Amino acid sequence: MPTFIKRILGLVIVVFLLVAVNAWMGREGLFGFGLPYYYAEILNLTGISIILAVSLNLITGFTGQFSIGHAGFMAVGAYASVFMTVYYSDSAEQWLTSLLGATLAQSLVFLGVIIVGALVAALAGLVVGIPSLRLRGDYLAIVTLGFAEIIRIVILNIDRVGGATGFRGRVPPWDGRLIIPAYANFIWIGGFAIITIVVVYNIVNSDVGRALISIREDELASEAMGVNTTRYKVIAFVISSSFAGIAGALFGHFRQFLHTNDFQFIRSIEIIIMIVLGGMGSITGAVLGAIVITILPELLRKLPGDLYGYRLVIYSALLILIMLTRPQGVMGAKEFGISWLKRAQRRPEGDKPIGEKGVPIAQQSTSPNLDQPKEIEHR
């Protein structure tokens, strides 16, 4: 089957699964079976966490730059997109509804504000990245942490986005939507999670990805070989920031309420824990870490009796235990894929080395003039 047909078929299957799962999570359910709202919300938040973890892994895991300001870029994307939705999208949606119908109009408007959130977050990443990515290690971490806190405090003092009371709709005396529309569902969240994984995977396996990995392994050696390390670090930083902005846009339109407390320092640390737990430099490890860190605290809420009061202690102890037994993360730098499920194949006979020199059979010459025993004349 041609590669193009395989990709089209895979895309159709993915879209079908996203639509089916979203229907299963809805109120009506799928074929009479539905998922309770509590579990549906956890599943959606898990998808947002996957976007954040995989995008941060590009700059921290593959490039080796320790950034702890990812929550700041998420906040930029969230507030920028929701601001556009509340104050500037209503008239455009009504005009598109008259032309294309309500569902398609809402989808186009939502896609537009997601793009706005991604672009604003990418611009913020560029502004922070150009001066700060000349730093390394702890110094870079301090700069990114300071940026995240500056963003949070600035938003906290903007009255038009709710300030300290939070942002759930228009703020008088300005006109706009009364509440943030619930545009985001599992189709959008799951779709962008898959897009994030695919984009990061392709970057890592490209020439840019090799340059990023070389910077992680030895930045001085990369510079000596002619790699423009600052340029590549800024590229990774901007791409990572844009996906954090997308995650923020999805978060704002799913929760329908934004507050600066959702983007505090601890949120950045939580995302770092996801990639450290799963394995820095592993995309599937970041996905696994996002799933575990999002779902595990909710599972511990089900502990019986007095154990419920110690759920945070148990949660911390489990993380410590995992890091003591597996300090490189669950996946390390490896990836989990279909190739792991394939049965090991025997080595072809022609590839087996034989003889003193260990030359494979397939590489041995079949010429009758070679390796013939010399005739020794006995006189």
Q: What is the pLDDT of residues 98-126, one digit of tens each?
A: 888 888 999 999 999 999 999 999 999 99
Same domain, 95 and 206: yes
pLDDT score of 320: 84
Closest CA to 67 of 196, 187, 240, 204: 240
Alpha-carbon distance of 210 to 217, in angstroms, equals: 11
Q: What is the 8-class DSSP label of residue 225? A: T
Q: Within 135-228, where are the H helices?
A: 138-156, 186-204, 207-217, 219-224
Report the mean per-residue pLDDT for the chain: 83
Q: What is the 8-class DSSP label of residue 348? A: P
Alpha-carbon distance of 166 to 148, in angstroms, equals: 18
Residue 348 lies in a domain: no
pLDDT at 140 over 60: yes
C-beta separation of 248 from 121 below 8 A: yes
Residue 40 lies in a domain: no
Return the structure tokens found at 341: 């499920």
Closest CA to 187 of 243, 254, 238: 254
Same domain, 164 and 50: yes
Same domain, 122 and 192: yes
Please give the residue that has the higher pLDDT: either 279 or 55: 55
Same domain, 16 and 103: no
pLDDT in tens, 156-180: 988 898 888 889 888 888 888 889 9
Residues contacting 35, CB < 8 A, separation 6+? 24, 25, 29, 43
pLDDT score of 32: 58
pLDDT at 321 over 90: no
Residue 294 lies in a domain: no
Same domain, 62 and 206: yes
**Which contacts of 370-373 are long-range, i.e. CB under 8 A and separated by 24 or more positions?**
none
Domain containing residue 253: 46-264
Return the structure tokens found at 211: 């340059």
Same domain, 231 and 255: yes
User: What is the percent of the chain with per-residue pLDDT over 70, rounded to a whole number?
Assistant: 86
pTM (2 decimals)?
A: 0.84
Same domain, 149 and 182: yes
Same domain, 76 and 186: yes
Residue 280 lies in a domain: no
Domain count, the chain: 2
pLDDT at 356 over 60: no
Same domain, 28 and 64: no
pLDDT score of 74: 93
Q: Rounded to 10 degrees, what is the CA torsion of 152, 158, 162, 167?
A: -50
Last residue of a domain, one of 237, 264, 291: 264
Please give the residue that has the higher pLDDT: either 345 or 81: 81
Last residue of a domain, one of 264, 292, 315: 264
Query: Across-strand partners of 30?
Result: 33
Alpha-carbon distance of 47 to 41, in angstroms, equals: 10
Last residue of a domain, one of 194, 229, 264: 264
pLDDT at 362 over 60: no
Average pLDDT over residues 217-245: 89
Residue 53 lies in a domain: yes
